[in-house]
Amino acid sequence: MKNNPAYLIVLLCLFCNSINAQKKTSRDSLFNETELLKHLKSLSSDSFEGRRTGTKGASKTKDYIINQFHALKVSPLGDDYKQSFSFFYRSKRYNAVNVLGLIKGTELPNEYVVISAHYDHEGIKQGEIYNGADDNASGLCALFSFAEYFKNNPPKHSVILAAFDAEELGLQGSKHFVKSTLVPSKDIVVNLNMDMISRSDKNKLFAVGTAFNKSLKHIILNFKHSEKIKLSSGHDGFDGLQNWTYSSDHASFYKKGIPFLYFGVDDHEDYHEPTDDYENIHPKFYVESVKTIISVFEKVDYSVISR
């Protein structure tokens, strides 16, 4: 019976199904989905007062990020997690803080992938709190899921997890980071920026930046991950859609000649409104969105990204 070809074929099928099941289990457990949603609910609650740069809400958010990075074994990029800076915006001086963590690469420790999300939002206006659940507590909390993922999946390149401040005030946090000497621009392979990734009526997540880099275009055009979400290129300024090339922190990297992918969704009715609350996000889409971005990172990490 052991020499029966039909029997061997059945065994082979069972083995392949087992391997596929293991892969699916691994893919489905990249990070704790419940914790991701808890972080988002917390950081977009009224207690953080809209996270406006220079306020108590922003300071509370900064401490939250540092605590999570520490708990998830993310090392500080510099002497500590904080990169403090100041700037003028509309004749007002602001003090701001980027929070920067480091995951050391296993094969290319001196080449960096910057995974970024801004943590500031609009704060309180005329007595109403602008909680910014989608914009951009969603991208910020995805950084924690990346940190959790790296605990069991160390990256080939070194990874900087960058929580930028003052994006809403002119991309100030990312501007300061790329101008600083913490990491030379020539050593940054790519920036993956996340800003508004938690809701879409069409289950569509955009990856902006493929028009400017052949390597990244190849990755996105050949990307297959989930039937639950559609990952589309576009919004680069060449397809008739609104140009998002300069719409978030990835613009600071682009201006330095650093390849980028920006992950985001179409504007919605709660964009920059006090109704951008946790209750209005799409939890299943959000979880799948984060999984998709992690899967894109995996391909980027094992690719040669030319400038």
pLDDT tens digits, residue range 50-103? Answer: 999 999 999 999 999 999 999 999 999 999 999 999 999 999 999 999 999 999
Q: What is the mean pLDDT of residues 179-202?
A: 97
- pLDDT for position 27: 53
CA distance readout (Å), 277 to 44, 131, 132, 239, 290? 7, 6, 6, 31, 19
- pLDDT for position 17: 43
- pLDDT for position 29: 75
With cut-offs at 50, 70 and 90, classify the pLDDT of residue 297: very high
Cα-flanking dihedrals φ and ψ of residue 87, to 5°? -160, 165
Q: What is the mean pLDDT of residues 17-43?
A: 72
Nearest by Cα to 117 from 102, 97, 137? 137
Joined together, the tokens standing for residue 242 give 């609104």
Joined together, the tokens standing for residue 251 give 């613009």
- pLDDT for position 225: 72
| pTM, 2 dp | 0.91
Half-sphere exposure of 169 (CA within 13 A, CB side): 26
Dist CA 140 CA 201 (whole Å): 21
Q: Does residue 25 surpass a pLDDT of 50?
A: no
Q: Beta strands of 140-287 (E only): which ranges?
A: 157-164, 188-194, 204-208, 230-233, 260-264
Residue 4 neighbours by CB distance under 10 Å? 9
Dist CA 261 CA 193 (whole Å): 6
With cut-offs at 50, 70 and 90, classify the pLDDT of residue 224: confident
Q: Does residue 10 surpass a pLDDT of 90?
A: no
- pLDDT for position 28: 59
- pLDDT for position 219: 97
- pLDDT for position 20: 41
- pLDDT tens for 238-294 read 999 999 999 999 999 999 999 999 999 999 999 999 999 999 999 999 999 999 999
Dist CA 137 CA 299 (whole Å): 25
